[in-house]
């Protein structure tokens, strides 16, 4: 399991770096630059749009040229892009940097998941969940730390030097992930050598075609996509709602997000083991239901403890969905195309994650929180019958 432990160590540092630059710092930085609700949603979602275009090609490419090369390319983006945040002085510059920073997770994420699926065997649900949970620890540390640095020693809101301090820490962690990856990620590749460009291109197309033509894979991936629509909206607007409507501090806003992450982190490995032994479909249905109910309740709560309760329930629902969906996709795909499968999964995941803050920004700006959040939650409930129809019972 040396490969797995190395992947976890690199994933922790990469996710810590990415989280520092994302939540709650990113929406508050966009607000600091003068962005309204729609523009804040775009700033949070634009990096995920990158994944929509690049995750499937990156995953399929790793099936052809090897996992290590592809992952190291993604780690270079993790290490270098955070430095560009230090130069941002306008909203348009923030959008550009966020789009390019999204290449980090777009390239590295699906390939790392494919490596875990390669080595996990019949324990895919559990091992994918452990891998995700270790990365979540990085996110867990990054979100409250970013909020604390913005909140510390200031009155009237954070100032530019505080944002740049957070981005500088993100850059240091990204460089550490890149260096560790180059030193430790030695992977036994499962690619054919000596192939010409035409043969490699044909293999690439075969993997993409097999995955995208399978209704079960697309539907199972879509369940995490719709769950991530609400997660993306919550990521963008829970900090803003907590600070501007509920009257909480930036640090408390970071704690809300961190608490949700804690529940997800501790629940996922156990739920992954349950899905390995008792089936994945019931967990996905239960998770979608919990996410829908808790997300719809957020704008009707005005105190820290009630918002915390909603965040905890949402985190549990997220754990139920995410512990099972990626493993279910891997179950339904041939091993030689795990990269393509994880790339397709990641692309659909990102369509949901990107649409959440963008759609949420439009709806909040038009309808307000109390109408827009329940409307988005209804999409999760409507997706359940489609999932049960298109994805047959295991076994």
- Angle between the N-to-C axes of helices 160-184 and 2-20, in degrees from 0 to 180, rounded to the nearest 10: 170
Q: How many CB atoms lie within 10 A of CB 5?
A: 11
Integer distance in angstroms from the first to the last C-alpha of the chain? 28
CA distance 30 to 90: 9
187 CA to centre of own chain: 24
> Could you tell me the pLDDT band of residue 358, with boundaries at 50, 70 and 90?
confident
pLDDT tens digits along 296-353: 999 998 889 999 999 999 999 998 988 888 777 777 765 455 666 666 666 777 788 7
pLDDT tens digits along 89-137: 899 999 999 999 999 988 888 788 877 877 776 777 788 888 888 887 8
CA distance 323 to 360: 25
Q: How many residues does the chain have?
A: 395
Phi-psi region of 194 (alpha: psi -120 to 50; beta: other; left: phi over 0): left
DSSP 349: H
Q: Which of 61, 63, 25 is nearest to 43 (CA)?
A: 25
CA distance 106 to 51: 5
The enclosing H or E element of 257 equals: helix 250-278
Q: How many CB atoms lie within 10 A of CB 229?
A: 27
In contact, 217 and 334? CB cutoff 8 Å: no
Phi and psi at 111, nearest 5°, equal: -70, -40
Q: Looking at residue 180, what is its pLDDT?
A: 92
CA distance 354 to 49: 6
pLDDT tens digits along 27-60: 889 988 988 877 887 887 788 778 778 887 777 7
Residue 307's contacts (CB-CB under 8 Å, 6 or more residues apart) are: 238, 242, 246, 248, 256, 298, 301
Sign of the four-CA dihedral 144, 149, 153, 154: negative
CA distance 132 to 323: 9
Alpha-carbon distance values, 329 to 8, 142, 149, 159, 384 (Å): 21, 29, 39, 44, 17
CA distance 226 to 351: 9
Q: Which of 225-229, 288-292, 346-350 is predicted with the least confidence, judged by mean pLDDT? A: 346-350
This prediction's pTM? 0.70
Alpha-helical (H) ranges within 89-214 are 91-120, 124-151, 160-184, 197-212
Domains and CATH numbers, the chain: 2-184+197-388 (1.20.1250.20)
Q: Which of 61-70, 147-156, 183-192, 268-277 is predicted with the least confidence, judged by mean pLDDT? A: 183-192
CA distance 74 to 136: 18
Residue 195 has pLDDT above 70, yes or no: no
Residue 197 has pLDDT above 50, yes or no: no
């Amino acid at each position: 399991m040396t490969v797995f432990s190395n992947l976890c160590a690199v994933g922790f540092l990469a996710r810590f770096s990415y989280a520092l630059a994302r939540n709650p710092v990113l929406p508050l930085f966009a607000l600091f630059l003068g962005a309204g609700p729609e523009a804040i949603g775009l700033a949070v979602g634009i990096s995920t749009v990158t994944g929509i275009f690049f995750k499937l090609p990156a995953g399929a490419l790793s099936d052809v040229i090897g996992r290590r090369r592809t992952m190291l390319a993604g780690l270079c983006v993790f290490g270098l892009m955070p430095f560009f945040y230090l130069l941002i002085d306008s909203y348009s510059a923030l959008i550009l940097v966020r789009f390019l920073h999204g290449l980090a997770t777009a390239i590295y994420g699906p390939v790392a998941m494919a490596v875990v699926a390669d080595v996990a065997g019949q324990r895919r649900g559990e091992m994918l969940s452990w891998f995700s949970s270790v990365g979540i620890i990085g996110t867990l540390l990054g979100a409250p730390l970013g909020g604390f640095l913005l909140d510390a020693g200031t009155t009237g809101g954070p100032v530019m030097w505080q944002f740049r301090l957070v981005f500088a820490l993100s850059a240091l962690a990204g460089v550490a992930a890149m260096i560790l990856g180059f030193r430790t990620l030695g992977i036994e590749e499962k690619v054919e050598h000596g192939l010409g460009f035409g043969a490699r291109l044909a293999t690439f197309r075969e993997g993409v075609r097999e995955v995208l033509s399978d209704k079960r894979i697309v539907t199972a991936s879509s369940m995490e996509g719709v769950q991530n629509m609400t997660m993306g909206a919550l990521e963008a607007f829970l900090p803003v709602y907590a600070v501007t409507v509920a009257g909480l501090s930036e640090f408390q806003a970071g704690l809300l997000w961190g608490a949700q992450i804690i529940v997800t982190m501790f629940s996922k490995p156990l739920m992954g083991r349950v899905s390995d032994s008792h089936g994945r479909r019931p967990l996905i249905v239960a998770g979608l239901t919990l996410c829908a109910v808790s997300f719809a309740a957020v704008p009707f709560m005005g105190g820290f403890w009630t918002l915390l309760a909603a965040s905890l329930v949402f985190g549990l629902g997220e754990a139920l969905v995410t512990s099972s969906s990626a493993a279910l996709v891997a179950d339904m795909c041939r091993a030689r195309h795990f990269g393509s499968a994880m790339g397709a999964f990641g692309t659909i995941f990102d369509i949901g994650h990107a649409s959440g803050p963008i759609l949420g920004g439009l709806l909040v700006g038009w309808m307000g929180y109390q109408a827009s959040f329940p409307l988005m939650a209804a999409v999760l409930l409507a997706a359940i019958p489609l999932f049960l129809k298109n994805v047959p019972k295991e076994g």
